């Protein structure tokens, strides 16, 4: 596989049964979502990534959000066990893609863990403890990555779906956060930038090399990042946000 790569999956047409936890259901336009997904893929390529595009899985409306199916590290890929029962079937199709690319280890019941709850920062895997990832999932992940030199730390959440809703790692070693949604005392960092108070969901961005892919829905947060010198790639993800998802959710990154 040549160079850093992103794996994405095309969205299906019937999105009415997507999982929601913290927001009201709002009709998603499949055509607009497909167009925005194409724009997202274009941004990944501009950031220097090769892109593997997988076909839609119509029976799984959330399957476009491939991040939750695996934790991909340099040495190994951990196939997760998503916390929403409707999403467990998304993992096996992703396993078939990852097995030629990484040694794959599979999480087992009673563990639950969504990839969106895991943020790798400075060699530490921070794991959100909210509604989708349980303590058994945290412990199993720690066991699976122990031989590869990673530490695992739990971070308590409140008011958001995943840890990456509240925290993102930035290219210069700092983190972007929404302070109200996580126990920041659990996170080791060299500095923070806070999402604008009016844009709590702006704390989710995707760092690719020296570029930062961010949502155009959060201009005040993006302005803070730009003022700090980050090279931004803004994408329109309005339909993605209706599905309680954000910038990191539609891709798995393999370095």
Catalytic residue among 37, 121, 162, 178: 162
pLDDT at 1 over 60: no
d(CA 64, CA 224): 29
d(CA 63, CA 60): 5
List, for residues 161-183, the tens digit of each pLDDT value.
899 999 999 999 999 999 999 99
Query: Is-contact 77 70, C-beta < 8 A?
Result: yes
pLDDT at 3 over 90: no
Query: Domain limits at 32?
Result: 5-254
Domain count, the chain: 1
pLDDT at 12 over 90: no
Our answer to whether residue 249 is catalytic in this structure is: yes
pLDDT at 26 over 80: no
Our answer to whether residue 104 is catalytic in this structure is: no
Mean pLDDT (the chain, rounded): 95
pLDDT at 129 over 60: yes
List the Cα angle 130/182/221 in 5-degree steps: 120
List, for residues 60-72, the tens digit of each pLDDT value.
989 999 999 999 9
At residue 27 the predicted structure's pLDDT band, cuts being 50, 70 and 90, is: confident
pLDDT at 13 over 60: yes
Of all residues in the chain, the percent with pLDDT exceeding 70 is 96
- What CATH number is given to the structural domain containing 80? 3.75.10.10
At residue 53 the predicted structure's pLDDT band, cuts being 50, 70 and 90, is: very high
End-to-end CA distance of the chain: 10
pLDDT at 19 over 80: no
Catalytic residue among 18, 119, 160, 249: 249
List, for residues 195-234, the tens digit of each pLDDT value.
999 999 999 999 999 999 999 999 999 999 999 999 999 9
């Amino acid at each position: 596989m040549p160079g850093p790569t992103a794996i994405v999956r095309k969205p299906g047409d019937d999105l009415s049964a997507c999982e929601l936890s913290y927001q009201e259901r709002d009709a998603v336009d499949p055509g607009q979502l497909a167009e925005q997904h194409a724009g997202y893929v274009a941004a990944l390529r501009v950031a220097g990534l090769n892109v593997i595009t997988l076909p839609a899985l119509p029976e799984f409306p959330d399957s476009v959000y491939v991040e939750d199916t695996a934790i991909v590290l340099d040495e190994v890929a951990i196939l997760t066990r998503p916390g929403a029962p409707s999403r467990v079937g998304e993992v096996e199709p992703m396993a078939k893609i990852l097995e030629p690319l990484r040694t794959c280890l599979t999480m087992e019941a009673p563990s639950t863990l969504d990839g969106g709850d895991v943020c790798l920062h400075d060699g530490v895997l921070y794991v959100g403890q909210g509604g989708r990832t349980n303590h058994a999932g945290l412990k199993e992940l720690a066991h699976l990555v122990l031989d590869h030199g990673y530490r695992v730390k739990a971070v308590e959440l409140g008011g958001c779906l995943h840890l990456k809703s509240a925290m993102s790692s930035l290219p210069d070693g700092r983190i972007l956060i929404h302070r109200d949604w996580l126990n920041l005392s659990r996170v080791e960092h060299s500095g923070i930038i806070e999402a604008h108070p009016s844009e709590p969901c702006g704390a989710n961005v995707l760092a690719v090399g020296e570029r930062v892919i961010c949502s155009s829905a959060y201009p005040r947060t993006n302005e803070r990042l730009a003022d700090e010198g980050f090279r931004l790639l803004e994408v329109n993800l309005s339909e993605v946000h209706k599905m309680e998802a954000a910038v990191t959710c539609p891709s798995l990154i393999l370095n």
